[in-house]
A and B are shown apart, each in its own frame.
Chain A
Amino acid sequence: MTVTTAPAMVELQGVSKRYADVDALHPVDLTIAKGEFVTLLGPSGSGKSTLLNLIAGMVAPSSGRIVIDGRDATTLPTNQRGLGMVFQNYALMPHMTVFENIAFPLQVRKVPKAEIRRRVGAVLDLIQLGHVANRRPRELSGGQQQRISLARCIVYNPALILMDEPLGALDKKLREQMQLEIKRLHAELGITMLYVTHDQDEALTMSDRIVLMNGGRIEQQGTPDTLYFRPETVFSAEFIGSSNLLAGTLEAGPDGAPVLRTALGTFPVPAPDRPIERGAKAMLLVRPENMTLQRGGDTVHVTGRIEDSILLGGVVRHFVRCADGSTIIVQELNQPGRVDAERGHEVAAGWLPQHGRLLPAPPAG
């Protein structure tokens, strides 16, 4: 038995899914605590939607056990799992009014009429859409439709709400607004939420915990901070945030501390989370915002020529072309009166050794 601090809402034990001769999901163990907001993040084909569909009961697992709210749900039909689900295309019934759409799950649960009216009214107020109760979904905007679809979920208090790229069809501004709204609802209602997205910003904004998926496996999981600052693999580092990666061989320095010998020089590196053998290939990760274009100083650095500097509003990104042909990105805060180095000018891009992170080299191929 695993011991968790909060009681588990979902427990996957060795769950896998195989289609014909393709492993959509390798055996996975995952526990989601009650009240937690967990995001499944990953590129398409990484297995995140398969995982969600397994929990929803839309596909049957090839192996393993699925426990939902303390009950073995491995073979339970979808309609008996007591879930809520929000779809990317909203999946609102086009022939029903907004009110009827939200009332539908309550009718399924044989809630008395007066109670239905009260509860539908209450959630419509909660999402501030009381005035559209008698309209049909297609008369509403995308953002409104998605809020209705959320309301239809929370109205019957499912223990767990699954969201499959719910904001994928909305434009950027609306998406950010909806992210906050979903976060607010999660905080107010305390419902466990499992959210699927391929958008790292969305995952970082919303989640208590991110489960990063890659090639049908869980690559890494943890809080947004952990994934951002303490990625364990090159994949994690590259998928979340932008990164500079220097490949090299791990060696012992003059004082016995580890150093990485790369094409651009030998750099001191912090000790990795999991030990890496001396002499093995490894990679050094430095986030662009942890680098500075410096003029001397005693921090470690690489040298190169400024290729371009682009303005991204609050920050400036400098692209530095190094001697081995690789490009290092340096991100600095934008200040009034900023003077950029000229294009083609030789600069040094430096960082503090403790801001670097040593990662095992990715498997070849």
Chain B
Amino acid sequence: MNELFGSSRAARRITSTLAWLCYLFLLVPSLIVIPISFGNPGQIEFPPRQLTLDLYRQFFTDPAWWGSMVQSLLVAVATTLLTLLLAVPAAYALARSRLPGRRGLQGLFMMPMLVPVIVLGLGLYLQFSSWGLLDTTAGIILAHIMLTTPYIMVSVLSGLKHSDIALETVAAIMGASRVTIFFRVVLPQLKAAIAVGALFAFLMSLDEVVVAYFLTGTQTMTLPVKMFSSIRWELTPVLAAVSTLLTVLSLLIALGIIALQRKTEASS
């Protein structure tokens, strides 16, 4: 083995020890919530002294928790669908037209990724308070569409870059209309890229705290906002159950994205 240090055994051992400590530090906080979530409802325990499902029972019977979970899922699903509806055609137009200023537009669509969320949160708070959109589900969905647009953009644009333009040209030569080409030729090639973007957007919206914290109130509180105030003020063990559910969901989505990316890589 030729290492980056050359072949020094001592150097290798040191980096390897450091690396494993770091893997542990990165891994443990994401996973430790799982055993804690099966513990006693009384207090946060690790390792749990007895295994129960009490924390999950509490979570699913408390409308404050359960309701915010439903709200979050609702917002995330609506956000994902609406962002797809707006961003996929826009990405297609960016990739397949020679419109002057399309680079500027692309910059605009990517911008939410670069601006600190707290700034967006404040701006939307000021704007929505005068538009009467504070503490409304429509308001938070609008904000999340803006926040998730760049992620779907990146995915779909790279999908378009890898798709075969010649197929579209051939279809046009054979007399297919624009609409036919888009639905019969372009979209089928973009399926995986769109799915990756959608999963990303769903997860982003589901986990988003800062903007939601500014825009939602008691009527529209999402799960992350509920968690945020719970960690801040009471630190209840129910959090472990919520965290486990979220982590499992995130992992499933991550696996889905990785599988989809593998598939597109293999096919291209």
CB of A78 within 8 A of chain B? yes
A48 to B240, CA, bound (A): 61
Within 8 A of A (CB), among B1-16: 2, 6-7
CB of A58 within 8 A of chain B? yes
In the complex, are the beta carbons of B6 and A79 less than 8 A apart? yes
A77 to B6, CA, bound (A): 10
A60-82 CB mask vs B (1 if < 8 Å, else 0) is: 00000000000000000111000
In the complex, are the beta carbons of A58 and B2 less than 8 A apart? yes
B238 to chain A, nearest CB (A): 53
Please name all residues of chain B whose beta carbon is closer than 8 Å to the beta carbon of A77 when the two chains form the complex: 7
A31 to B2, CA, bound (A): 27
B54 to chain A, nearest CB (A): 53
Please name all residues of chain A whose beta carbon is closer than 8 Å to the beta carbon of B2 when the two chains form the complex: 58
Please name all residues of chain B whose beta carbon is closer than 8 Å to the beta carbon of A78 when the two chains form the complex: 6-7
Interface size class of B (residues with CB under 8 A): under 10
Please name all residues of chain A whose beta carbon is closer than 8 Å to the beta carbon of B7 when the two chains form the complex: 77-78
A78 to B3, CA, bound (A): 13
Please name all residues of chain B whose beta carbon is closer than 8 Å to the beta carbon of A79 when the two chains form the complex: 6
Please name all residues of chain A whose beta carbon is closer than 8 Å to the beta carbon of B6 when the two chains form the complex: 78-79
Nearest to A57 among chain B residues (CB) is B7
Within 8 A of B (CB), among A199-252: none
A94 to B7, CA, bound (A): 22
Please name all residues of chain B whose beta carbon is closer than 8 Å to the beta carbon of A58 when the two chains form the complex: 2
A71-108 CB mask vs B (1 if < 8 Å, else 0) is: 00000011100000000000000000000000000000
A271 to B230, CA, bound (A): 98
A79 to B2, CA, bound (A): 12
A323 to B2, CA, bound (A): 57
Within 8 A of B (CB), among A138-162: none
A77 to B2, CA, bound (A): 12
Within 8 A of B (CB), among A322-363: none
B1-45 CB mask vs A (1 if < 8 Å, else 0) is: 010001100000000000000000000000000000000000000
A58 to B2, CA, bound (A): 8
Nearest to B7 among chain A residues (CB) is A77
A78 to B2, CA, bound (A): 11
Nearest to B2 among chain A residues (CB) is A58
A78 to B8, CA, bound (A): 11
B19 to chain A, nearest CB (A): 23
Nearest to A79 among chain B residues (CB) is B6
Nearest to A77 among chain B residues (CB) is B7
Nearest to A78 among chain B residues (CB) is B7
A69 to B118, CA, bound (A): 69
A77 to B7, CA, bound (A): 8
A50 to chain B, nearest CB (A): 15
A153 to B19, CA, bound (A): 36
B3 to chain A, nearest CB (A): 12
A77 to B10, CA, bound (A): 14
A58 to B1, CA, bound (A): 8
B124 to chain A, nearest CB (A): 46
A313 to B7, CA, bound (A): 52
Nearest to B6 among chain A residues (CB) is A79
A58 to B6, CA, bound (A): 10
A25-62 CB mask vs B (1 if < 8 Å, else 0) is: 00000000000000000000000000000000010000
B12 to chain A, nearest CB (A): 13
B11 to chain A, nearest CB (A): 13
- Can you offer 5 A-B residue contacts whose CB atoms are under 8 A? A58-B2, A77-B7, A78-B6, A78-B7, A79-B6
Which A residues contact B (CB, under 8 angstroms)?
Answer: 58, 77-79
5 tightest A-B CB contacts, nearest first = A77-B7, A79-B6, A58-B2, A78-B7, A78-B6
